[in-house]
A = this chain, B = another copy of it.
Amino acid sequence: MENEIAAKKLAELGHITRLSIFRYLVKVGDQGAPVGQIQEELDVPGSTLSHHISRLVSVGLIKQVRESRILYCIPQFDVLDELVEFLKSECCTEAKCIR
């Protein structure tokens, strides 16, 4: 069950546009960036961008905060950390290797 949730998050990161969005937000940091700014950066149609952002939001990798007309997208570093952690959890529990 946990597997399923992690797979979903990884799948969302596993698309060139969405990965670009996320990496841009990682670059920008905690303050996040407006949708419009991401659009300028990546040069994709608004409708396409909106679709991908909402998918990232749906798995919690991004949060959105509205400030009047501008919608900020904020990367959720803790969710990313948890995901990365998950990939290596139980590492070698069935073996005698040391990693």
Contacts and interface: CB of A to CB of B under 8 A. Distances in A.
Interface in A1-34: 3-4, 6-16, 18-20, 22-23, 26-31
Given A14-B14, A87-B23, A95 B7 contact: no
10 contacts: A7-B15, A10-B14, A22-B87, A27-B94, A29-B92, A29-B95, A29-B97, A31-B97, A77-B99, A84-B84
Contacts of A12: 14
Interface of A: 3-4, 6-16, 18-20, 22-23, 26-31, 77, 80, 84, 87-88, 90-97, 99
Contact of A30 (B22, B84, B95): B95
